């Protein structure tokens, strides 16, 4: 009798890209306690390993993710036992298999996290994806928040992050109207950054991750923080954030070396030479 495969595979590509693959295809990659524990471990490995530059979250099977697993022994973490409003609010914040805290950590880590949707992405899977920096979709991907079928909201940061990313106009479509969105529609919403043909999707995603891994880590970390702050601040305060970020970045030895090389090229008549 062989051991069951883990619900999430983790591998390292090119010594810089951490790839986490949801692996419960028979359960439509529903997020149970074991999957969440492994995903949290992968996220913390990204955070704590300097050599790792990028994280990619993908999945095997027909769905990317069908949301929280309501059929396992961990169901009490998803369906609260409390029958008071305060108890339910606390359950959302502290339990739900740690969703809120993990989604927040993913958003705060100063390294890019990419999620690749090859199929349907719904409920908790969509909330997971909203916490990533880049969302890439195959043409066959689709999106929905089925919580409305039960008369509730996607409350593990689903309403707040979707509204901030896509605005109230499209949040009403997915949440109030409980209507799905195709990959192309999600691109129109601003929910995904790019839609690729199904054929060659995995290669396109990996090429993008390799591109990110080549970028300056200090710049990307500062940009991630600055973008989040500027999304909450007005333009005047946002410009202060830009200056504060650059006051550190422009002391970075990498920046100083590149500027010196650029100035040297100008002096030698190589104005348009590419800086590697």
Q: What is the mean pLDDT of each run of 10 residues along the chain (276 residues)?
A: 83 97 96 94 97 98 92 53 70 68 94 98 96 98 90 84 94 95 98 98 98 95 92 87 90 86 75 53
Q: Are 68 and 123 contacting, i.e. CB atoms less than 8 angstroms apart? A: yes
* Same structural domain, 84 and 64: yes
* Same structural domain, 196 and 263: no
pLDDT tens, position by position, 55-70:
999 999 999 999 988 7
Q: In what order do the strands lie in the sheet with 194-196?
A: 8-13, 17-22, 54-59, 113-117, 134-138, 194-196
Predicted TM-score (pTM) of this structure: 0.88
Domain total in the chain: 2
pLDDT for the residue 1: 46
Q: Which domain holds residue 84?
A: 8-213
> Does residue 1 lie in a domain region?
no
Q: What angle do CA 45, 166, 229 make, to 5 degrees?
A: 55
CATH number of the domain that residue 24 is part of:
3.90.226.10
> Does residue 3 lie in a domain region?
no
* Same structural domain, 191 and 227: no
> Does residue 224 lie in a domain region?
yes
Whole-angstrom distance, CA of residue 174 vs CA of residue 163 = 10
> Does residue 206 lie in a domain region?
yes
> Does residue 274 lie in a domain region?
no
Q: Are 20 and 132 contacting, i.e. CB atoms less than 8 angstroms apart? A: no
Contacts of 202 (CB under 8 A, 6+ apart): 58, 116, 118
* Same structural domain, 222 and 121: no
pLDDT for the residue 37: 94
* Same structural domain, 29 and 82: yes
* Same structural domain, 84 and 221: no
């Amino acid at each position: 009798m062989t051991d069951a495969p883990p619900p999430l595979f983790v591998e390292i590509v090119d010594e810089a890209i951490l790839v986490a693959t949801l692996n419960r295809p028979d359960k439509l990659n529903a997020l149970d306690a074991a999957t969440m524990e492994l995903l949290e471990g992968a996220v913390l490995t990204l955070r704590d390993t300097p050599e790792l530059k990028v994280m990619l979250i993908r999945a095997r099977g027909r769905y990317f993710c069908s949301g929280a697993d309501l059929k396992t022994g961990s169901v009490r973490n998803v369906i609260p036992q409390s029958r008071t409003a305060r108890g339910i609010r606390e359950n959302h914040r502290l339990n739900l298999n740690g969703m809120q805290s993990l989604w927040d950590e993913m958003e705060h880590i100063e390294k890019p996290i990419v999620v690749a949707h090859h199929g349907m992405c719904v409920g908790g899977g969509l909330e997971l994806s909203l916490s990533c920096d880049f969302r890439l979709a195959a043409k066959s991907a689709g999106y929905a928040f089925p919580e409305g079928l039960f008369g509730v909201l996607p409350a593990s940061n689903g309403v707040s992050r979707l509204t901030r990313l896509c605005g109230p106009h499209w949040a009403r479509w997915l949440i109030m109207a409980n209507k799905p969105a195709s990959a192309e529609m999600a691109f129109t919403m601003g929910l995904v950054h790019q839609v690729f043909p199904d054929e060659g999707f995995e290669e396109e995603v990996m090429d993008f991750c390799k591109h990110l891994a080549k970028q300056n880590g200090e710049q990307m970390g500062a940009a991630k923080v600055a973008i989040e702050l500027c999304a909450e601040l007005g333009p005047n305060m946002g410009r202060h954030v830009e200056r504060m970020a650059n006051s550190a970045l422009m002391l970075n030895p990498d920046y100083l070396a590149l500027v010196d090389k650029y100035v040297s090229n100008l002096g030698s008549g190589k104005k348009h030479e590419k800086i590697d």
